[in-house]
Structure formats: structure tokens, C-alpha cells
Structure 1
Amino acid sequence: MVSLARFFFFLFAGAGVFGHLSDSFLGRKGSLQVACFLSAIFGLLTALSPNYWAYAALRLLTGFSTGSVGLCSFVLATEPIGPSRRGAAGMSTFYFFSGGIAALAGVAALFQSSWRALYVFTSLPSLAFALAVLPFVSESPRWFLVRHRAHDALRVLRDIASKNGRVFPDGVTLKLDDDVEEDDENVDKNNKVEEQERNSASDSSILDVFRSRTTRARLVLSVLINLLCSVVYYGLSLNVVNLKTNLYVSVAINSLAEMPAYLLTALLLDRFGRKPLGIGTMLLSGAFCIAGSLIVPGAGAGGAMRIVRMGCGVVGIFGMAATYNLLFIYTAELFPTVVRNAALGCTSQASQMGAILAPLVVVLGERVPFAVFGVSGIVGGLLVFYLPETMNKPLYDTMAGLEEGEKTVLK
């Protein structure tokens, strides 16, 4: 469990580094390419480890590169989507994550006799994705726009329209949400100010999130919620060792239990909104984890009680899986394009910190982990009350655009 915590710590570091690079010169696609190549290379080298220390070092490097693959791919996939379809499109990406975990349980069972073969087999998909899929994926048009490459953004949008059988109108121009129309007499006067603002927009960082009172409060709440959610999500996944059931079967059941959660959340997300679903799923998970902590397997019906407790865990991971992936969508909508990946990187770091703590909670026994997970879920659900709703709201591009947009909403 300690080695697993170290692995998650390097996931924590990688999420922050690649989150910043994704918002800066590398872009969403470039950062994803680098992360996939590094993940595959370090994974394949792990299979060749001559001793424990080489193995441990390569596992840490794999964690550093792997930590941002999901983050960059999610933002790259969802930024071009409009408000009406963003929730369903975002949730659909997570079926592949759960499917991969379920497949991993089967693959691990097949390669029990050779851990080296297991590392080779599980590293090849990342390399195949980087070589066979990513060259045909376009960069995010929103990233192009905030980097003042509007012609590239228009090219991507025209390509998307063409592949969807739609006609992109001629004469369309793109501008950032902090661009305003100026009277002719004020243009010369404000040119220098505008240029400075544009340069700062493309060079924004996580520090700009803390400078704004609006985004600062959102980030602190998002970090705390993601931390608590991750403790429960990873904790319940790892807690299968305390259930005294078949490890591979339990992992597969837990991962498959997540898929109905994604479907239900996708169906309800644009009907009830991000905030009510976030509150409801976290409280659901917390309640069933508390119930699981109260179950004491007796001498006569120990097997039946363990099944009941496993059922509580399955419902718990059902609710928290919905929350965990909903938070990706929710967090992406809370912050503007110029700092979106940096903010997501920060909340992803909080998630990895929760993943670091989860193994340390699991070793506390059979009942205590369920109690900790239950309290974490309930507290996290209560914190979601303080976040604003983002359903059907635009994705802002700049900090100034978000501030102005929020003022308009408050009026």
C-alpha cells in the first residue's frame, strides 16, 4: 500500500505539470501526446527492470506521465462541445475508463505468472493511441482562440462541420469573450491596453485563479470536494482486500457498477443540473458506506454479511463514480479556457492526494474504512451546496469574460 501511495504521489505531480503545459505552449493535444509516449516508454522499461530500485523508479516515472492522460484527453474532447450536449458527451468518455478497469482485472488474472508480460501488455495501448489515433485528432479550437490563432480555430470548426455534414457559414469571425466593440474615437486610445490584456490572457496561470475572488473560492471548494471524493472512490476500489472475496471478481464488479452510474448521470445531468446531482450522488455514497461500517459479520452468517457489506460498497462506488466523473465536467465549466487545464490539474492533484490517502485508510481494518468513506462522502456532498450551477451556461474563455459574465448573471 505504501508503494501504491508513492505511485499516486507522482500522479499528483504529473497532473500539475501537464495541466500547466496544456494551457501554455504545448496545448491540449501536444501535452496528451507527450504524456502518452512517456507513459508507454516508462511502462515498457518497467518490464525490463533488473532490480527493485529500478522497478520503483520507473513506476514513479510512469505515475508522473500517466497522471495527465485522462485530464488532457477529457478537456480536448469536451471543449468543442456546446452547452446542450456537453454533459452527455463528457460523461460518455468515462465508459472507456471503467471498461478498461474491468478488462484489466481479466488481463491481470491471465498474467498472474508473469508481471513483466503484464506491464508490456498494459503499456502498448498508450503507445498505439499516440501513434494511430492522436495524429487524426484536432487541437482544441478554444485553445487556438486564447492563443490568438483564430484562423486555426476556424479551420478546426470548419472541419468539424464538414465531417458532420453541416455547412459552416462564410464570413464568421471569432473573438474572445472579453473583446468589446469600441467607438472609433476610443480605438487608438485603448490599443496599447488591449494588447497588454490579450498577452496576459494567453499567459494566464493558476496564480490568476487565486487573484480573482470568484475563481479562488471555486478552486478551494473544488479541491476539497475532489479530495474527499477521491478518498472514497479509490478507497472503495482498494477496499476489496478487506471484503474477503475474490480480488479479480471484486475489482471487475466494482468497475462494472460504475457504468450504470455514468448512464444515469448522463440522462439526468441536463435535466436537474450539475449541483443537485453532485450533492445527491455524494450523499448516496456516504450513506451506504456508513451502513457498511455498521455491519459486523458474525460467526454463523459471516459469509452472508460479507456479501451485504460488499453490496453497500458497490452502491457506494456507484454513487461516487458518478460524482467523480461529474466533477470533471463541473470543474471544467467553472473556469475559463485560459486556466481551465491548470485548474483541472489542481483539482486532479487533490484527487491524487485522496488516492494517496486511500490506501492508508484501507489498512485500518474492515469497518473503520467504511466509516471514513461515509463521513467523507457526506461532508463532500454538503460542500457542493456552495458551488454555483453551470448548466446551460457558456464556457468562458478569459478571466475578464468570466468576471463580466458572472456580474451579468447576478444583475
Structure 2
Amino acid sequence: MTEIQCFGHTFSGAGVFGHLSDSKLGRKGSLTAVCILNAIFGCLTSLAPDYSTYLLLRFGTGFSTGGVGLCSFVLATEPVGPTKRGVAGMSTFYFFSTGIALLSSIAYIFPSWRALYVASSIPSILFLVLVVPFISESPRWYLVRGKTNEAMKIMRTIANANGHHLPDGVSLALDDEANDASNGNQIRKAATVEKEAISGSIVDVIRSPITRIRLFLAVGINFTCSVVYYGLSLNVVNLETNLYLTVLLNAVAEMPAFTITAVLLDKFGRKPLAIGTQWFSAIFCFMGSLTGNVGISKVIRMCCGLLGIFGMAGTYNLLFIYTAELFPTVVRNAALGCATQAAQMGAILAPFVVILGGGFPFLVFGVCGLIGGMLASYLPETLNKPLYDTMTGLEEGELA
């Protein structure tokens, strides 16, 4: 059933809502839509009368879930400046791991799968009622859509919340417009003049030599990382330990990884950490493949799994920040959605690796971590680099 849900997530949700988030619906609109769909499909699944209906509804759940992570992450990080973006981005994943930890408790309390689907749908409903009404749309999305006045209103609100005030006459401009201004060309006042919307798609990403290479590398890294991340999580069935306790420990093991990665992210940069965390995980996965599953060896293998997921959790969430910074606003969610699709392909493959049993899954996870780190070595560093808004701005910025 995990494969079916991931299939829907992979080939539909992440791609569809990635595009809609960059175009018509925006970040907030897409997030609202996926939460509504997630709640509806989750509750309806609990009423499924037969297996075929159950599969269809699980596909719908995967479809809606596909847009939740990328829409919420981009919406949370786009308004943040480069010096705080890493910490802000990594902080969002504490909620993800907390949710997994709570899920093990909820599953223990509600052993019936019908009751469990209802209980796991409640957070989406609460989010729609208690959080979404107080969220602002991304000012960067407003800017590329030509809605400069709305973008300026949000920027003033942000400034006021931080105890500051935007001086009169300050305006927002896209990357290419700012470059024109530096070359002596006159820009219309963005605060008072609405502009034509700029659109982009995954085709534009592939068409540009700069973003094409970045996309292929991001897809490969997300795929290998996901095989390890989800594989280690699912591999608890081979450890012959308490299922609920092991899932809880895996979730708890991720949290210090977020803290350490957030601290080191702005000190060493995205690229070294992306390489280091994957190779850290690979080392312990290789060690786990060499241990048995009896007596003290079982404990050692479980510890290797925990340390492996510790390293890969840092990578998995770092990749959201890294991928978002590699692409301009006009195609950011589309590119991130494509990378997310690759990650879910890895999630589909992971169970087939796990069922092989023994030390072989750990060996596969180690190889994937090693390859992922090698691919990351070809990506450019984005530490303290600006978030570009347009393809032209990115290309001119890279050539400068």
C-alpha cells in the first residue's frame, strides 16, 4: 500500500502542485488546496467499502500529500534573508519528525486502520482552521506574478513585525530589472505600477544549461537519499525489535540531526554538509551490513540504523533548502516538485530493498549514500547567495 500512495504522490501531486504553486494558485493557495484534499481523502478512506475503493482513495491521499511539503517549505523560507534561511528551513522539519513520533503513539492508541485514518486527518483540518487564515502569500511569488503592490504590503507587514519601518520610496524589483538599474536604465516605480506576470515551467529549467545540470543532479541525489531515508525507516521490520518503539526512536534520532545541521549549515555551507551527511550515513550502513542479527550484534545493527538515519535525515531536509536555493522563484516549486518526485521514486524502491532481508539492505543503503555524496560534489555552493527571481536574473548572476 505504501507503493500505491507513493506512486500517486510521485507522478501527480508533487508535479501538479509544484507547477500550480509557481503559477496560478501560488504558494498559499496550493497549500490550502492540498490540505483540504488531504483531509477529505483521509476521512473517506476510513469509510472504504472494498479494496478497490481503498486503493483509489489512497492514491488521492498521495496526490494531495505530494504538495504539502514543498508548498509549505517554500512559503516558509522565501521571505527569509540569506543569513537566516538555513536555520529557518531546518527548523520546519522538527514538526515533520514530531509528527512521525506522534504517529507511532496514535497508531498504538488506534489499532483499527479506519480509526487511524480519521485521527491522522485531523491535523490537516486543524491547520486549515487555526493556521492558514494567518499565513501570508510569498512576496516573491507576488513579485514575479506582477502584483507588486501586494508584495510591498507584505514586506511592510514583515518590517513592522520586526520593529522596523520601510522608508517611503522603497520599491521591489526583479533580478533582471535590478541589473538594468545598475547599468543605468530607468525602472518604473514598482510600488505603484503593476507589471506583467512572469511564468515558468519545468521546460524552462531543462532548456537552460545552468538549471538543467542542477536539476539532474538534484534528482539523482534526492533519489538515492530517499532510498536510504525511507529504507532505514522501513527496515525496522528486519531488526526484530518492538515496532512502535523503533519508529519512535528513529523519529527522535532525526531531531538532533536537524539541530546540528542547522548550526553547521551557515558555517560550512550547503555543499560540504550535503556530501558529509550522506557519507556519514553510508559509513554506518556499511557497518550494519557486516553485523549479524543475533544477541549483541542485533543491538549494534540497530545502532547503525539509528546513526544512518541520523545522517540521512540531515541530508534529506538539507536538500529542500539546497534545491530551493539552486533555482529562481519563477520555477522554484516546479524544480522542487521534480526533485520531490525523484525522492518518492526512491521511496517506492525502498520496500523492495528491505524485503531482501539480512545485511543486504544496509549494503544497498551504503552504496546509495556514497553515490549521493559524489553527485553533490558537482553542485555549486549557495551559502549567502541571493534567491534569484527570474531565469534571466539567475543566468546573469552566475556569469557576473
TM-score (norm 1): 0.93
- Give the structure 2 partner of residue 4 of structure 1: 2
Distance 1:182 1:227, change over 3 A: closer
- Give the structure 1 partner of residue 272 of structure 2: 276
- Amino acid of the structure 2 residue aligned with 1:225: I
- Amino acid of the structure 1 residue aligned with 2:49: P
Deviation at 1:391, TM superposition (A): 0.1
- Amino acid of the structure 2 residue aligned with 1:121: A
- Give the structure 2 partner of residue 155 of structure 1: 153
| Matched residues, number | 391
SS in 2 for 1:167: coil
Deviations 1:119-148 (A, max 9, x none): 111101101101221011000000000001
Partners of 1:122 and 1:382 in 2: CA distance: 38
- Give the structure 2 partner of residue 100 of structure 1: 99
**2:399 is matched with which residue: 399, 403, 407?**
407
Q: Is the 8 A contact 2:144 2:199 kept in 1?
A: no
- Amino acid of the structure 1 residue aligned with 2:164: R
Partners of 2:3 and 2:52 in 1: CA distance: 16
Aligned pairs for 1:104-123 (under 5 A) are: 104-112=103-111, 114-123=112-121
- Give the structure 1 partner of residue 233 of structure 2: 237
- Give the structure 2 partner of residue 390 of structure 1: 382
Partners of 1:382 and 1:156 in 2: CA distance: 40
Percent of aligned pairs sharing the same letter: 63
Partners of 1:388 and 1:66 in 2: CA distance: 30
Q: Is the 8 A contact 1:224 1:380 kept in 2?
A: yes
- Give the structure 1 partner of residue 16 of structure 2: 17
Partners of 2:106 and 2:358 in 1: CA distance: 27
Matched, 1:221 2:212: no
Partners of 1:170 and 1:131 in 2: CA distance: 36
- Amino acid of the structure 2 residue aligned with 1:227: F
Structure 1 stretches of 4+ with a deviation exceeding 2 A read 181-184
Deviations 1:311-353 (A, max 9, x none): 0000000000000000000000000000000000000000000
5+ unaligned residues in a row in structure 2: which ranges? 189-194
- Amino acid of the structure 1 residue aligned with 2:361: P
Deviations 1:247-288 (A, max 9, x none): 000000001000000000000000000000010000000111
- Amino acid of the structure 2 residue aligned with 1:312: C
- Amino acid of the structure 2 residue aligned with 1:386: Y
Q: Is the 8 A contact 2:8 2:62 kept in 1?
A: yes
Matched, 1:308 2:306: no
- Amino acid of the structure 2 residue aligned with 1:64: F
Partners of 1:313 and 1:100 in 2: CA distance: 20
Aligned pairs for 1:237-386 (under 5 A) are: 237-297=233-293, 302-386=294-378
- Give the structure 2 partner of residue 31 of structure 1: 30
- Amino acid of the structure 2 residue aligned with 1:212: S
- Amino acid of the structure 1 residue aligned with 2:308: G
Distance 1:115 1:77, change over 3 A: same
Partners of 1:124 and 1:169 in 2: CA distance: 43
Partners of 1:231 and 1:143 in 2: CA distance: 32
Cα RMSD (Å): 1.6
TM-score (norm 2): 0.95
Q: Is the 8 A contact 2:93 2:258 kept in 1?
A: yes
- Give the structure 2 partner of residue 140 of structure 1: 138
Deviation at 1:181, TM superposition (A): 3.1
